[in-house]
């Protein structure tokens, strides 16, 4: 499997794709017209194995307003992802052109939940403003029940509280 390509200066190519794509029509997520969270990657599922990762990446053009740096990475020989180096800004307009198959979507508010193991609190912020603080338990400090300490993307719909 190919290594992820390095991010370009802006991480994007805003020009429409022209020419013949080195793959059949892909399926793109997020779906055209959708609104997604700020951690959502772009997921491109190809109809078959991609043997030339560089050519495939060259046929995928990502643009956003505002422009956001990012990079490609391969999950499988049939799935390419592009994600920002950090979160998308709130209310960003994004367009993906994958060999002529186009999807445009927007991000919603920046909704972030931060778990603090020291205080056993989960703090939820929306666009930088604290919405709610919730008491929580965390994993043990040893054994197989340790709490992971890394940013994690939750890909699920949220209920309003």
pLDDT tens digits for range 15-51: 888 889 999 999 999 999 999 999 999 999 999 999 9
Distances from the Cα of 153 to the Cα of 9, 10, 40, angstroms:
25, 23, 8
Q: What domains sit in the chain, N to C, each tagged with a CATH number?
A: 27-107 (2.60.40.3710), 111-145 (no CATH)
**In terms of DSSP H, where are the helices of 2-133?**
53-58
Name the residue with higher pLDDT: 73 or 151: 73
Reduced to 3 states (helix: H, G, I; strand: E, B; else coil), residue 52 is coil
pTM score over 0.85: no
Reduced to 3 states (helix: H, G, I; strand: E, B; else coil), residue 58 is helix
Bridge partners, residue 74, by sequence: 80
Name the residue with higher pLDDT: 56 or 145: 56
Name the residue with higher pLDDT: 51 or 6: 51
pLDDT confidence band for 156 (50 / 70 / 90): low
Taking Cα atoms as reference points, which of 120, 113, 114 lies closest to residue 141?
120
């Amino acid at each position: 499997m190919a290594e992820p390509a390095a991010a370009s200066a802006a991480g994007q190519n805003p020009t429409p794709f022209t020419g013949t794509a080195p793959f059949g029509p892909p399926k793109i997520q997020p779906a055209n017209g959708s609104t997604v969270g700020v951690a959502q990657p772009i997921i491109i599922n190809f109809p078959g194995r991609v043997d030339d990762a560089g050519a495939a990446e060259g046929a995928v053009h990502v643009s956003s307003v505002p422009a956001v740096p990012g990079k490609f990475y391969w999950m499988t020989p049939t799935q390419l992802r592009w994600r920002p180096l950090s979160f998308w800004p709130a209310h960003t307009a994004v367009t993906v052109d994958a060999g002529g198959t186009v999807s445009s979507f927007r991000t919603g508010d920046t909704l972030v939940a931060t778990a603090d193991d020291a205080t056993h609190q989960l703090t939820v912020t929306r666009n930088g403003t604290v919405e709610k603080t919730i008491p929580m338990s965390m994993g043990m400090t040893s054994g197989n029940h340790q709490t992971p300490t890394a940013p994690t993307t939750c890909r699920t719909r949220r209920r309003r509280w």
